[in-house]
Amino acid sequence: MSRQQREALDDLLRHAPLDVGGDVGEARAVFHDMMTGVPLPPDVTATAGELGGVPVVTVETPASDPAHVLLYLHGGAYAIGSAADAVGLAGDVARRGGARAVCVDYRLAPEHPFPAAVDDALAVYRALLDDGVPSSAIAFVGESAGGGLAVATLVAAKDAGLPQPSSAAVFSPWADLSVSGDSAIGKAAVDPALTPEGLRTRARDYLRDTDPRTPHASPVFADLTGLAPLLIQVGSHEILLDDAVRLAARAAADDVHVELQVWPQVPHVFQAFAVMLDEADAALRAAADFTRAHWAASQATDAFGEEPLAGKESVVRQ
């Protein structure tokens, strides 16, 4: 892996115009321009639609198997971003995973506070099930706030009595809206993209008077027993490092199959930069391998009643 690549990405992010904790309207416009500035590959299609009363964008490539679905939850600190903004990264995930990605355009704060995002994600999952897609053919994927939302939606699905999907892969999850992890301070100097002050501003927009330790808002404080297998990827140069580590520990304590991958000296949601960073491409391939393995395990369980992969935690440092 190239030190020059990592340094170039760090410099790019430090000079980016986005202020996550700034004016919401301005941040949304800047984020949109950043996320859509690179043209999509010509073989990626993005189709707007609706599931469960929630807008979605379905992203497909020639490798997409219509029998498998990636329920994709975008980042943006619950106040920024959209399903359309996420098409680039969702397309990379869909291509490597060989499935279609359904990007959820969940409602944003401050206009729509907690639990709007969870309600929308759960509504889309329920609609996929009602449309006849088996839970064993669905995997969740989320990045940043969308990563925390993916796990929160797993908890909400469990609480609603719905079956779990086959797995979930989350990139740099924001899983603690109290922003209480040690890395919020300890990694601030090396994080080129996020600040604890910015995250706290957006958390107030989303939560209003809700306790940030509420499980459907901050899954590091949830009972994760019975959740689908989890893959958690995080960079060591980000203030959300402890969110990922504590989420993995919580899952392991609750007997969830969880794999934690900490990638050295890379920033928040580094997977979005596969065109310029070798680690990003490798991480996306690892996520695709994880997802496909658990689709296969879930299908074996459906067919033969075998036990799925379960009960281990592994830490991979690359």
306 given a catalytic annotation: no
- Give 317: exposed, middle or buried? Use CB within 10 Å, 0-12, 13-18, 19+: exposed
Cβ–Cβ under 8 Å, residues 67 and 117: no
| Catalytic residue (choose from 82, 144, 172, 183) | 144
216 given a catalytic annotation: no
154 Cβ neighbours under 8 A, 6+ residues apart = 140, 164, 165, 168, 219, 224, 227, 228
| Catalytic residue (choose from 74, 237, 257, 268) | 268
144 given a catalytic annotation: yes
Closest CA to 147 of 119, 126, 176: 176
| Catalytic residue (choose from 238, 259, 279, 294) | 238
Task: Classify strands 54-60 and 65-73 as parallel, antiparallel or unpaired.
Answer: unpaired
Catalytic residues: 144, 238, 268
